[in-house]
Homo-oligomer: A and B are copies of this chain.
Amino acid sequence: MHAVSSLDSSALDEAASGATAEAPVRDLRRVPIHPDNWYPLAWSREVKRGKTHGVHFAGEPIVLARTESGKVFALEDRCAHRQVPLHQGVVDGESIRCGYHGWTYDCSGKCIDVPYLGRERLPNGVRSYPCQEVEGLIFVFPGDPALAETKPLPPLASVSDKAYKTRRFGRAVKCHYSFMHENLMDMNHQFLHRRQMGQMRARSLGRRRGEGWVEVDYTFARMEGKQPVGEALVFGQNRNGGGQNDKDVMTIRTEYPYQTLQIRTSDQTLVMNLWIIYVPLDAEQRTNRTFGLLSIRKPGIPGALDLAWPLLVWFTERIFKEDREIVEAEQAAHDSQGEDWNHEVFPVINELRNLLRESGAAHLTPRGEAHTPKDATWQPLRRISRT
């Protein structure tokens, strides 16, 4: 892990001079997310036993089905026959049956029954996606399936550690995923949350960059007022009175395509651990669905965190709502202007922008050019019908 470490103080001034001579670059807001990763497309509870659930990844309709035995599989969400969504159909044992004429597909997407045709002459099927269910999330690999096994799942906050309590949250946000990464990583946006958190000042200690990731450390100082209770729960309590927790260090990291935010006290205890991902829903990638896991370390008194939990939920929802409104305003401005007029002065964010630009897909996947398992004896049907 070769990392570049640097103190930001001079870099900030450098950027402020406006001397960032950028060559013409791709508009970051038009860079598609790279499909060769595992993306959560639903919470486990959304896909009930014996039911289908239709989702989207970057405009691709995908049906998730949980069979009678409880297994989840993922197929492209259209019948090979007349293209109606399979999620309007029914789960039948371990397979899925289109609701229109009853064409039936197994978990690999192969067509195994057309009620009015002989079994020896069945048409081809539909595309399937690698799929796994972990910690209440259903992950799908929308890219080249041959790569799925080579890409491990990321650590999911501290969700499996009993010392932590984890909140699952998220919703659709009407903006390109890149705005979300920039929002979280630039802690100078504390001004946005002034009503929730009072006047805080972030100070960046330094940034590091490696292959596929960038991260930055911050400390915080309260400018005036006292710490709100909600904030104390989330970011760690101000243990020894005013201004004493500026020894806590917050580290925000984008490890493509995921993002984490961790707070450690001066004795290196991890008190907060957030894992978050922004999954594009539409083909233009102008809307993302955010999935977040926020792990909070339990304090010494048993049950105290459970008691405070509703307040924490309320506080984080308020913060998330403010973030959502401002990134949607950024997207609306981009849509109206037709190009990226962003003028960034904070080197950390320019580094992040470069990472997102370089890590994204080359172009939007042409429709119907989806990958097919090489060892499959059948082919997605529409290939044939369209040539």
Contacts and interface: CB of A to CB of B under 8 A. Distances in A.
B18 A123 contact: yes
B189 A100 contact: yes
Interface residues of A, number: 59
A138 B329 CA distance: 26
27 contacts: A12-B116, A13-B117, A13-B118, A13-B121, A16-B117, A16-B118, A16-B121, A16-B122, A17-B121, A18-B384, A61-B336, A81-B343, A81-B345, A83-B341, A84-B329, A84-B330, A84-B333, A99-B326, A100-B326, A102-B191, A123-B343, A337-B367, A337-B368, A338-B367, A339-B386, A343-B381, A343-B385
Contacts of A343: 80-82, 123, 381-382, 384-385
B385 A123 contact: no
Given A80-B343, A337-B368, 15 more contacts: A12-B116, A13-B118, A16-B123, A18-B123, A61-B336, A82-B343, A83-B337, A85-B333, A88-B325, A99-B192, A100-B326, A101-B186, A115-B188, A123-B345, A343-B381
Interface string A64-98: 00000000000000101111110010000000010
Contacts of A102: 188, 191
Which of A326, A339, A346 has the most B CB atoms < 10 Å from its CB? A326
A381 to B, nearest CB: 5
Contacts of A18: 123-124, 384
A358 interface: no
A302 B99 CA distance: 39
Copies in the complex: 3
B13 A329 contact: no
Nearest to A78: B333
Contacts of A118: 13, 16
A167 interface: no
A49 interface: no
Contacts of A334: 83
Contacts of A201: 115-116
A342 B12 contact: no
A224 interface: no
A-B CB proximity, top 8 nearest? A16-B121, A102-B191, A83-B333, A343-B385, A341-B382, A84-B329, A116-B188, A16-B117
Given A13-B121, A337-B367, A191 B101 contact: yes
B342 A385 contact: yes
Interface string A313-331: 0000000000001100110
A148 interface: no
Given A123-B18, A339-B386, A341-B382, A326 B88 contact: yes
A116 B85 CA distance: 51
A194 to B, nearest CB: 9
A1 B101 CA distance: 33
Contacts of A82: 330, 333, 342-344
B333 A386 contact: no
